[in-house]
Structure 1
Amino acid sequence: MGGGHNGLVAATYLAKAGRSVLLLERLPATGGAAVSTRAFHGVDARLSRYSYLVSLLPRKIVDDLDLRFAVRRRRISSYTPHGDAGLLVDAEDSARTREQFVRLTGSERDFDAWQRFYAMTGEVARRVFPTLTEPLPTRAELERRVGDATAWEALFERPLGETVEATFSDDVVRGVVLTDALIGTFTHAHDPSLRQNRCFVYHVIGGGTGDWDVPIGGMGAFTDALAAAARAAGVRIVTGAEVTAIATDGKVAEVTYEDVEGGGTRTVGARDVLVNASPHALAGLLGAERPPRPEGAQLKVNMLLRRLPRLRDTSVDPREAFAGTFHIAEGYRQLQTAYEQAAAGRVPDAPPSEIYCHSLTDPSILSPELAAAGTHTLTLFGLHAPARLFATDPQRVKEELLAATLAQLDAVLAEPLADCLATDADGRPCLEAKSPLDLEREVGLPGGHIFHRDLSWPYADEDADADRGGNADAAGGNGERLAHVDVTQATGRWGVGTGYANVFLCGAGAVRGGGVSGVPGHNAARAVLERAR
């Protein structure tokens, strides 16, 4: 159920293993939130509309499924403007980055701390990332795998804010570090629940390096390759098929869906059901008690520019500044203030955000004519924009938030962004904004939450996991429903089980879900195949 990238990964693995697989997708095409779109009328630019960069996709999945897909590394890690200056982090030139730190902070202290800190996270990444496609380790097993008590405490035990404040002294540098803990997660540096730490861990372990790469051909190139691999393996894909109910006794299941193209309601039988939807949606389909609704907290803005804007910081070329992650209003204190204002139910005065320019790394997403004319894409991801802000007057609040966000960007530019926007075939500016409510309506993200729910640690929660010993990946490993088990919490050996032995989460809401990774799809397929032994 669900033809996003994780559903396609799971279906292809199962078909290649000889299973008969039917994939049901609600939308007219597969891809889910990992698609490329010509978002502006009459303009030949393929924007990665909802998801942008790739870090957590294991090479193993690309190789196992024989995918024709590749990513390209960004040399510039980030640029953070500050007044008429800024901080440029060049991943391939340590001396240059050191000079940038000295220019910003007046000393080498924070640069040296930066080097030590990211050497530590890099070592954690090398040890933890390979476990994502292995059976779910226990907490103790993962701690032993990390093998560094100081790193474990900093990332897995203490609120990240304590480590950031003890390690770095400059407010801008602290903010750059903290942003990786806030992407898609409405929280703050000292949240005792450590949801910020969980988000941070996933952002720094990808690929065993923590690099965030640009998908060549746009994000849709990945899901198009997956759909082709699925069909070649024998998966039957039905689009325009919205699943409305799942019935199961833990041994056999029936799935009911509305056939938009064929008309009417259809029911199919299956031995196993893999759900590439949120745990919140799964509970409703099973007729179980729903968990609290997740809450997304971001503003997504897609733009097309006639040219890159000039910067107030004349020491850096805009082609370099926008080539990495361009941080806006993301100082450490600014992030906290914006969080407090949003938590109080108001649009932040200075909404924090970051920008990516994919066309600088991969101009193939533009037509040759647009590329030759100097056209570029810009994608903005705004933080601290919880769904609650949009509840009463969603359009007005979105417009207010967008205006405030773009004002923060204009403050670091030497010219208004509006002067650089391209126009579509109807003469309208090439700019579109998506609130959490838009994401829920368009691609089914509950509350607009890009991870389906708060991210989990990449290890087993022994209290919630009732079956660590056998091959079944569900609390009801004997094939019977355990009525007292919350179907959204049981995890099992692969982190994808539910309260039913033959129903599996294969989407972002699984343990080790979130991001464009394919990991939960891989793990759900492994759980199904193990159960068959």
Structure 2
Amino acid sequence: MPHPHDVVIIGGGHNGLTAAAYLASAGKRVLLLEREDHLGGAAVSAEAFDGVDARLSRYSYLVSLLPQRIVDDLGLDVQLVRRRYSSYTPDPADPSRGLLIDREAGAEASAAAFAGIEAENDADAWNAFYAETAHLAERIFPTLTEPLPTRAEARALIGDDRVWGSFVERPLGETIEARFENDLVRGVVATDGLIGTFTSLDDPALDANRCFLYHVIGGGTGDWDVPVGGMGAVSGELARAARDAGAELVTGAEVLAVDPGGRVRCRLEGTEHEATAGIVLSNVAPAVLERLLTAGAADAAAHAAREASGSIAPRDRPPFTHDSKLDVPPVVRERLRLAAEPEGAQVKVNLLLNRLPRLRDASVAPEVAFAGTFHINELESQLDAAYATAARGAIPSPLPCEIYCHTLSDPSILSPELAATGAHTLTVFGLHVPHRLLERFGNDELRAQLQAAVLASLNSVLAEPIEDVIATDAAGRPCIETKTTLDLEEALRMPGGNIFHGPLSWPWAEDGAPLDTPAERWGVATRHPRILVCGAGAVRGGAVSGIGGHNAAMAVLEASVL
């Protein structure tokens, strides 16, 4: 890699691929460096079980925030399936009944569903509440692929002070409790504020509010769709678009150091290389970028010393000036502070089943209950208790869990022979298991305990043990795979196993924040002018969206014409 590039991208996750495709299409010379031997980052499909022809979305699994604009701009052949059933939630106190949210149910059937769990008064409140989130989605989602609005501009876009106050200024827990009476209904609503976020619903820091907002605005509707072919199909299309546009995508290239002047040192096939570019885009977590910059500073100091001693000739350097006293934009400073030690708070469990298990609620077929999001032990009171337990350093019992079955919407991830047997996949996402639990448990012990907690939570609402329907692999082992926060950290370089790379931000700039440069206006700035964030660590990052990659590319292209 001896020749200079216009842009070097660190990390081949879906956002890095998005940026590469946009920039190469605009005629930029793009080099993307990926540590693994494959592209896609967390948005990949894999055969998780030996000898079993099933390609599971191993980490991320649903799509909501990927804008149609990106799909159209890059000519992506991505198919998404809209799920008829939004969710099913068994009543933990009486699992023979539960709440089924059916998008196609009429008003009478919907009211009867709420009445079935003695939540008659919440049926109308549910409709009114989600009419408000639909309004938020309609107004806010289109701004995610535009320069940042200010807080005042976002508020004006929403145009309803009551809605703004409910979702942006009051803790999410207060809003939910003011609108709903039933503990189960409150819990179903609340979970969108807690997925991957370790916080109390009533915390005035409003972390739950930000998490909730991103979960309800996707696509302008808030729908979460199933990617046909699995999540790897999405990344595969982005990689194809980037290659077709002329980007150079290099796998097996571990980045070791980054210099603010545009130099990137990496190791490829056992040999160290140096790539240079006018701009470096970081698709790694901000905390990881900080470590690479520290290594880059050490490289620069060592090289300068060798130049000064005359042992090597001076090399040309791109013009770069950085004053350590330079006023860093407040949003960048805050994100650097919070990203110093990110913490994830989830466990991910993948299963392959011979068939779907029977439920204690005989009124709902398993094919219906598992077709949307299946909530288990997620009463609001249970979520609060689980948070308090985990904050004390213990594993919550029962463990709040969310489940989805990819194969009910898209059986293509199974071989035809396997699909014909009635096999199905289940993806379980356990909440409120923060990375700090590793201070008490070793990773192997924690993984085993969390896996047992997930199965126990599942069994609490089933008419038969889930273990009885788990398939076996070629060696006769159960087809179950459990990923802790440390597993994510080691496999994906997500510090603390934080699936958002750090704290989520509001999708706007605070009033008075500097928006003088393209990077600031697009929410991708770091304290170094030549280094931009293009991944989940961007201001509007998180989830499989491509938004961070799109916005970084737009900032680069805007800067190139100024």
Q: TM-score, normalization: structure 2?
A: 0.89
* Contact 1:472/1:501, CA 8 A, preserved across alignment: no
Match of 1:102 in 2: 115
CA shift at 1:390, angstroms?
1.9
1:12 alignment partner AA: A
CA shift at 1:526, angstroms?
0.2
Match of 2:265 in 1: 256
Match of 2:362 in 1: 314
Quick one: structure 1 residues 407 and 117, their matched pair in 2 at CA, closer, same or farther if it must change by over 3 Å? same
Quick one: structure 1 residues 462 and 286, their matched pair in 2 at CA, closer, same or farther if it must change by over 3 Å? farther
DSSP 3-state at the match of 2:101: strand
Cα deviations by residue, 1:446-469 (Å, 9 ceiling, x for unpaired): 110000001000011356x43x13
Q: Separation in 2 of the partners of 1:328 and 1:363? A: 24
Match of 1:487 in 2: none
DSSP 3-state at the match of 1:24: strand
1:270 to 277, 282, 293: 277
1:472 to 494, 500, 518: 518
1:522 alignment partner AA: H
* Contact 1:246/1:286, CA 8 A, preserved across alignment: yes
Q: Does 1:157 align with 2:166?
A: no
RMSD: 1.2
Match of 2:531 in 1: 503
CA shift at 1:92, angstroms?
1.6
DSSP 3-state at the match of 1:101: helix
DSSP 3-state at the match of 1:13: helix
Q: Separation in 1 of the partners of 2:111 and 2:470? A: 34
Q: Separation in 2 of the partners of 1:406 and 1:106? A: 28
Match of 1:461 in 2: 510
DSSP 3-state at the match of 2:525: coil
2:283 alignment partner AA: N
Q: How many equivalent residue pairs?
A: 506
Match of 2:83 in 1: 74
Match of 1:295 in 2: 343
Cα deviations by residue, 1:378-413 (Å, 9 ceiling, x for unpaired): 000000010111234121122112212211110100
Bigger drift between 240-249 and 175-184 goes to 240-249
Q: Separation in 2 of the partners of 1:412 and 1:162? A: 29
- The 5-angstrom pairing of residues 37-436 of structure 1 reads 37-82=46-91, 83=94, 84-95=96-107, 96-105=109-118, 107=120, 109-249=121-261, 253-259=262-268, 261=269, 263-287=270-294, 291-391=339-439, 392-436=441-485
Q: Separation in 2 of the partners of 1:496 and 1:347? A: 36
Cα deviations by residue, 1:72-123 (Å, 9 ceiling, x for unpaired): 000000000112100000012133222110111252x101000000001001
In structure 2, stretches of 5+ residues that fail to align are 1-9, 298-335
Deviating 4+ runs (over 4 angstroms): 288-291
Q: Separation in 1 of the partners of 2:446 and 2:288? A: 27
Q: Separation in 2 of the partners of 1:401 and 1:424? A: 21
Larger Rg: 2
* Contact 2:152/2:511, CA 8 A, preserved across alignment: no
Q: TM-score, normalization: structure 1?
A: 0.93
DSSP 3-state at the match of 2:185: helix
* Contact 2:119/2:182, CA 8 A, preserved across alignment: no
Q: Separation in 1 of the partners of 2:344 and 2:538? A: 17
Q: Separation in 2 of the partners of 1:67 and 1:322? A: 29
In structure 1, stretches of 5+ residues that fail to align are 474-491
DSSP 3-state at the match of 1:422: coil
2:430 alignment partner AA: G
* Contact 2:288/2:493, CA 8 A, preserved across alignment: no
Cα deviations by residue, 1:463-484 (Å, 9 ceiling, x for unpaired): 6x43x13x431xxxxxxxxxxx
* Contact 2:533/2:548, CA 8 A, preserved across alignment: yes
* Contact 2:136/2:158, CA 8 A, preserved across alignment: yes
